[in-house]
């Protein structure tokens, strides 16, 4: 877009310079009276002003159209990114649920193994009694 602005600026500067140079040459070369020359300058000045206004209006319209295009593109990209974020969020939720389930299963397995180890520790081993008074000696 900056290239287009630079092109327009160059065009506009050339347009103004050409108008001024043309007016100066016309004044020097015209075999007209002072009143006719002033009338001619006034008319050319008005014409130059009208062309400038038209050029600026065209440039403003082009800028508005470009801004509308860029706004549309930005909205489309924002919608795409929102959709992608929602999809990724759903995937992450699914993974989190899976990990929570696996973690719960592992915790349950550890709990059951711990309970089994406690129960195994409570049972007498190899003929020993669990009488606390005899210090775990064989009878």
| pTM for the structure as a whole | 0.44
Of the pLDDT bands very low, low, confident and very high (cuts 50, 70, 90), residue 127 is low
Handedness of CA 126, 132, 137, 139 (dihedral sign): negative
Q: What is the pLDDT of residues 21-71, one digit of tens each?
A: 887 777 677 666 777 777 887 888 898 888 888 888 999 999 999 999 999
Q: What is the pLDDT of residue 139?
A: 47
- Looking at the DSSP bridge assignments, the partners of residue 138 are 128
Which of the residue ranges 18-27, 85-94, 108-117, 122-131 would you say has the lowest mean pLDDT?
Answer: 122-131
In the chain, the N- to C-terminal Cα span, in Å, equals 99
Instruction: Give the C-alpha separation, 88 to 90, whole Å.
Output: 5
């Amino acid at each position: 877009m900056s290239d287009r602005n630079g092109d327009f600026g160059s065009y506009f500067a050339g347009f103004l310079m050409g108008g001024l140079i043309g007016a100066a040459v016309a004044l020097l070369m015209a075999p007209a009276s002072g009143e006719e020359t002033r009338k001619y300058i006034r008319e050319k000045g008005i014409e130059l002003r009208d062309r400038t206004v038209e050029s600026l209006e065209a440039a403003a319209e082009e800028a508005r159209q470009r801004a509308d295009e860029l706004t549309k593109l930005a909205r489309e990209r924002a919608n795409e990114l929102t959709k992608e974020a929602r999809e990724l969020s759903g995937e992450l939720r699914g993974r989190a649920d899976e990990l929570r389930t696996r973690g719960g299963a592992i915790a349950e397995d550890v709990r059951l193994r711990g309970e089994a180890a406690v129960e195994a520790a409570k049972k007498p081993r190899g003929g020993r009694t669990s009488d606390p008074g005899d210090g775990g000696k064989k009878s």
